[in-house]
Structure 1
Amino acid sequence: MKLHGNAALRWSGRRRLVELVVVERWTLTAAAERLGISVRCARKWVGRYRLEGELGLQDRSSAPRRVANRTSSERVETIVALRRLRFTAAEIAELLKMALSTAPGSSADLGMGRLGRIGLEQAARYERSRPGELVHIDVKKLGRIEGGAGKRVSDGSRCALAVSTEQVGRGDPGHRRLMAES
């Protein structure tokens, strides 16, 4: 059973309601008040129990059992045939003298909603034995960028990387610092 979060009675509550009314002979009003539900709700569940037994206490689908204005199968076949000929929904609706919303609905139900893929071959799919086997990297050499593309210091001026002569004398030849270009 799939109940919504605000359901007043879960399956065990329905069983308790039936037990109070049928076995212990409580009135519907008293049992409904005890369980915090309406008399109408209590009447519904007790009535279902009396007609169907335990199965009557289970949830039911709220979907309609039939749709009165469903498009006939012959008309759907006609829509599909026109769709395969790449007619748009507006063209189909005009040709068959039907509502504009009916044609795309019928074709979308059958997976033909978008014209782009209809009548085209499926894309070639393939699997490889090892992950990354088909990884491909495109490398393009770029021409020299005019004016340079170096890093900028916060004030917008260019800086050159230079070895400090002071540090070389101290035995730290790897030390570098930024010096402003003039």
Structure 2
Amino acid sequence: MGISRATAHKWIRRWRAEGEAGLHDRSTGTVIRRYERDRPGELIHVDVKKLGRIPDGGGHRTLGRQAGRATRSNMGFDYIHSAVDDHSRPAYSEIHGDEKVATCAGFLIRAAAFFHSQGIDRIERVLTDNARAYRKGLAWKAALAELGATGKLTRAYRPQTNGKVERFNRTLLDEWAYLRPYTSNTERTDALADFLHTYNHHRCHTALDGHPPITRVNNAAGQYT
């Protein structure tokens, strides 16, 4: 139906608790205030999402929970490194086997190259959580220096400060990682590029008046709204 699992469960809970009355729109007309940087590249949000790897033949979504849990043991994890531009919202992701400082630093350099290819010439600041790789990693600090960017950390115990990439992570799970029962980790990995292209070039974004992120990146100079 084009909605996330979380949204579907919310409506089911309302219906079970209140019947048909629970399905009525509860909008109060409150204005939602979103902070947003003035131009692309002014602030990039970076985060890592940890996902269990899928064994050949599929995990619990394919085989059922009990059988999937047995085949999944000792499979390890994928670490999805993602970066989102605060103003225009294009996203870039890579899958790695860890979140060590060298991996994070290499990802940042490649993310910057991606944003540059989309029309974002310079990254000014990079916002991350307080993971050690971002706080003390020399390779991370060197990557920031190479880009001429400043590192910025979220407030302790306040991950919502990095909300734009956190929201992207939820979309990543709903529309890529959990979209269908993949039969192998390779199949899920291969599907990431198509998801990112759709997200950046075709998927409507409510914060961009229903337009995909690429339309804001490609606006003529001085025309960002």
Interval containing the TM-score (normalised by the shorter chain): under 0.3
Of Structure 1 and Structure 2, which has the larger fraction of its residues in strand? 2
Of Structure 1 and Structure 2, which has the larger fraction of its residues in helix? 2
Pick the structure with greater CA Rg: 1
Structure 2 length-normalised TM: 0.17
- Higher relative contact order (Cα pairs below 8 Å, separated by 6+ residues): 2
